[in-house]
Amino acid sequence: MYRIGIDLGGTNIAVGVVNDAYEILAEHSVPTRAHRPAEQVIADMGDAVETVLAKAGVTIAQCRSIGIGSPGTCDSGTGVVVRAYNLGWDHVPVCDMLSRRFGIPAYLNNDANCAALAETVAGAAVGCKNMVLITLGTGVGGGIIIDGKIYAGTAGAGAELGHTLLILDGEPCTCGRRGCWEAYASATALIQQTKRAAAEHPESLLADVPPEEITGRTVFDAADQGDALAQQVIHRYCVYIGAGLTDLVNALAPEMILLGGGISRQGEKLLGPIRNYVRHNCFGQEQGMVPVIAPAKLGNEAGIIGAAAL
């Protein structure tokens, strides 16, 4: 049997057919063109399913389910996308609409949760029952797996791990609150921290880069060239990440924490100091339940695989 996974994004809809080993047999992608009526987007999703089935040489009768990973708040119990700002969706019953068209069950969850689930079936956390995936990107995304299942809270409204408090009355966050972890640990935050440091220290290599050209990589490149300020900025950024992860360890004691997103490609430069912080600060320190902290393995395909695994 096969499963269909749909990764619904603000820009593209990626659809794949996976086998029982969670290998993607065929993939097809179409532009989302968000902010049109949801019925039109869902019709395009359905057409993309037909296309990908033809590509894979699989019929709908050979598929057990369709899974959808969507941005925003998703109620997996009802199959309704409750709210997705970057799609302009408000209470859209996407599962009903797709299962009516194809005659097989459809399942829904948030895209960050799908990415976490994907790592447990085909990525860096295979066989792991309790894990957390943190994605460091524009924001900080989180997915929690408990007993092999996604934990998303009541009506899918939880696991917003980026919006937990790091510093009371701290930096403003996109959610309207101040001091959220995301405002310190996202790639966006790192860019801001790099810009500030550069402005205050004209002697640093960081000050040689025009502010508008500073990216998440700038500080790592300068650190590689021996710039002391860049090394300090990275160290502080790792402490911000580590402090948030320590709270997750104390609350959930996962076996494993995976880090995803572009910044996680810095590997040990980031993971080393983060591991060190968590080991020395979690409850019980080294004798405590210190999880494995590792990079996520799946890239763009995590969305399709995770959705299919729902």
Give contact residues for Zn ion (rule: CB under 5 A). Answer: 163, 173, 175, 177, 180
Shortest spacing between CB 176 and Zn ion, in angstroms: 7
Shortest spacing between CB 160 and Zn ion, in angstroms: 8
Shortest spacing between CB 11 and Zn ion, in angstroms: 23
Strand, coil or helix: what is 102? helix
Shortest spacing between CB 172 and Zn ion, in angstroms: 9
Name 76's Cβ contacts closer than 8 Å, sequence gap at least 6. 107, 108, 109, 150, 152, 156, 310
Residue type, position 188, single letter:
T
**Residue closer to Zn ion (CB basis): 49 or 180:** 180
Shortest spacing between CB 189 and Zn ion, in angstroms: 11
Shortest spacing between CB 53 and Zn ion, in angstroms: 40
**Residue closer to Zn ion (CB basis): 82 or 165:** 165
Q: How far is CA 213 from CA 13, 183, 196, 232, 300, in A?
A: 30, 20, 14, 20, 25
**Residue closer to Zn ion (CB basis): 177 or 279:** 177
Closest CA to 195 of 180, 175, 209, 181: 209
Shortest spacing between CB 52 and Zn ion, in angstroms: 36
Whether residue 50 contacts residue 98, with contact meaning beta carbons closer than 8 Å, is answered with no
Shortest spacing between CB 184 and Zn ion, in angstroms: 11
Whether residue 162 contacts residue 180, with contact meaning beta carbons closer than 8 Å, is answered with yes
**Residue closer to Zn ion (CB basis): 140 or 234:** 140
Q: How far apart are CA 29 and CA 34, in angstroms?
A: 14
**Residue closer to Zn ion (CB basis): 19 or 164:** 164
**Residue closer to Zn ion (CB basis): 177 or 297:** 177
Q: How far apart are CA 49 and CA 42, in angstroms?
A: 11
**Residue closer to Zn ion (CB basis): 173 or 257:** 173
**Residue closer to Zn ion (CB basis): 177 or 265:** 177
226: its two tokens: 């021996």
User: Where does residue 25 rank: exposed (0-12), middle (13-18), buried (19+ CB within 10 A)?
Assistant: middle
260: its two tokens: 């995803």
Q: Which residues pair with 41 in a beta bridge?
A: none
Closest CA to 259 of 131, 72, 114: 131
